[in-house]
Amino acid sequence: MYSPETTKYLIHLTLQTEGVVDKPDVVGAIFGQTEGLLGEDLDLRDLQRTGRVGRIDVQITTRRGETKGEILISSSLDRAETALLASSLETIDRVGPCTARMKVDRIEDIRVTKRRRIVERAKELLLEDFDEGTINSDDLLDEVREVIRIEKLELLGEEKVHAGPNVMASDAIILVEGRADVINLLRYGIKNAVAVEGTNVPQIIIDLCSQKTATTLLDGDRGGELILRELLQIAEIDFVAYCPRGKSVEEMSRKEIVKALRNKVPVEVVADHIPGEGTAGQPPARTTAGTREVLEDERPSQQQKTGREGGQKTPPTLGEHMADVRDRRIARFLSSDYAVLLESNATDLEGALQTLGGDVEGVVVDRVVDQKLLDQIGGKNLEFVAARDFKGIIKRPLSIRLIKIG
């Protein structure tokens, strides 16, 4: 029996008859008109029986009284024998009752075709499927360091919340949402972060907040706002740091994390203005004096002011700006790094809003903000508004943080 794996050559023939014929007529003509033509050793029937020639594949179509088509015959004979067999097929001049013409179109070397496919596939494998052989030392170090960071994670309390290695020993903690956030802070050397693990705040978190200075750094989305609202109701939070809106803490870069923590604000100035319906609930009792002390501590010293005026690099903080505008009846429009883009009289805030460009992050103003003014500010796509107070606010844009100067 013929095996396709032994095929060396494929004979391609074209057929044309002056009349209508069927496949059996073509096959019969091939066997009948080549019988005994090349001797016993190359008799087509014997070659098929011994598996040296494959089946005869006939593909024909009939149109307008003529039949045309292609015939394929596979061979495992050598080159000379295959060529001799192919040439004998061109002697066929009748198929059934019709005059016919059969011609060898080409003899395909199957091994060459296979080699070509092998080479093309080898090129694809070489370009696409090999692992990169180059070694990047930084990647190897990062991979090793990542393992160390994960091993440093601790599990605290019965709830087994994820925390950095310094949480219990430190006087201050940073509350984040999950394990990935703790790992990201560890990546940048911050080892006192602890994961809240959702809105169902574990008891260990509440206990830690009562013993240590607690700062929240939650994702800049709806989930982060909900967790902050719950924390303000049940835990003693001291400061709130803000992740960029729409971003998660695990995605923050070192610069973004340091900036967020440096510009944290006392909880008293945000507790009544957390996004959501109604108030977010009151945090544990604190005094207004305590708030003012924190802000006074953040007021720039004379040395810092002199340094800025002299061109030295001492970047301002949001707390410093809030302390500076208090009781001065001024408004400051700030960039993303809290540089002053425009300063105006607080009573001229509406007019100043009309001149704003697209690089303003927020505004700090020493006046009361009502619903009408907040609507105007909301149309400028600012991230935050820090004001002396907010009155008559019924509808607030969810994209704006409201911060009370105090």
Please tell me whether residue 331 adopts helix, strand or coil conformation: strand
Full DSSP string of 62-107:
EETTEEEEEEEEEE-S-HHHHHHHHHHHTT--EETTEEEEEEEEEE
Residue 309 host element (H or E): helix 302-309
Q: What per-residue confidence (pLDDT) applies to 302?
A: 38
Please tell me whether residue 402 adopts helix, strand or coil conformation: strand
DSSP symbol at 396:
-
The CA-based dihedral angle spanning residues 205, 210, 215, 218, taken in that order and rounded to the nearest 10 degrees:
30
Q: What is the 3-state secondary structure (H, E, C) of 267-282?
A: HHHCHHHCCCCCCCCC
Count of beta carbons in the 10 Å neighbourhood of residue 337: 11
Q: Which domains does the chain have, with CATH numbers?
A: 9-108 (3.30.70.2690), 154-272 (3.40.1360.10), 318-404 (3.40.140.20)
Q: What per-residue confidence (pLDDT) applies to 12?
A: 95
Count of beta carbons in the 10 Å neighbourhood of residue 79: 12
Q: How far is CA 378 from CA 22, 31, 330, in A?
A: 82, 90, 20
Q: Are 101 and 71 in contact (CB under 8 A)?
A: no
Q: At what angle do helices 288-298 and 318-325 cross, to 10 degrees?
A: 110
Identify residue 399 by its one-letter amino acid code. Answer: S
Strand order through the sheet with 98-109: 53-63, 66-75, 9-17, 98-109, 94-95
Identify residue 317 by its one-letter amino acid code. Answer: T
* pLDDT tens track for 208-257: 999 999 999 998 888 888 888 888 888 899 999 988 877 889 999 988 89
**Could you give the CA distance from residue 64 to residue 62 in angstroms, rounded to a whole number?**
7
Q: What per-residue confidence (pLDDT) applies to 352?
A: 85
Full DSSP string of 156-204:
ETTTTEEE-TTTTT-SEEEEESSHHHHHHHHHTT---EEE--SSS--HH
**Could you give the CA distance from residue 98 to residue 379 in angstroms, rounded to a whole number?**
88
Q: Are 361 and 334 in contact (CB under 8 A)?
A: yes
Q: What per-residue confidence (pLDDT) applies to 126?
A: 79
Main-chain dihedrals φ then ψ at residue 236, nearest 5 degrees: -90, 90
**Could you give the CA distance from residue 223 to residue 79 in angstroms, rounded to a whole number?**
76
**Could you give the CA distance from residue 252 to residue 204 in angstroms, rounded to a whole number?**
26
Averaged in consecutive runs of 10 residues, what is the pLDDT profile of the chain (406 residues)? Answer: 74 93 92 89 89 91 91 92 93 91 92 86 79 65 66 83 90 91 88 86 90 91 85 89 86 89 82 47 34 33 41 67 89 87 88 80 90 85 86 78 81
pTM of the model: 0.45
Q: At what angle do helices 137-152 and 179-187 cross, to 10 degrees?
A: 130
- Which has the closest alpha carbon to 15: 74, 73, 82, 60? 60
Residue found by looking up tokens 């809003």 in the block = 353
**Could you give the CA distance from residue 358 to residue 374 in angstroms, rounded to a whole number?**
18
Q: Are 104 and 87 in contact (CB under 8 A)?
A: yes
What token pair was written down for 205?
């978190």
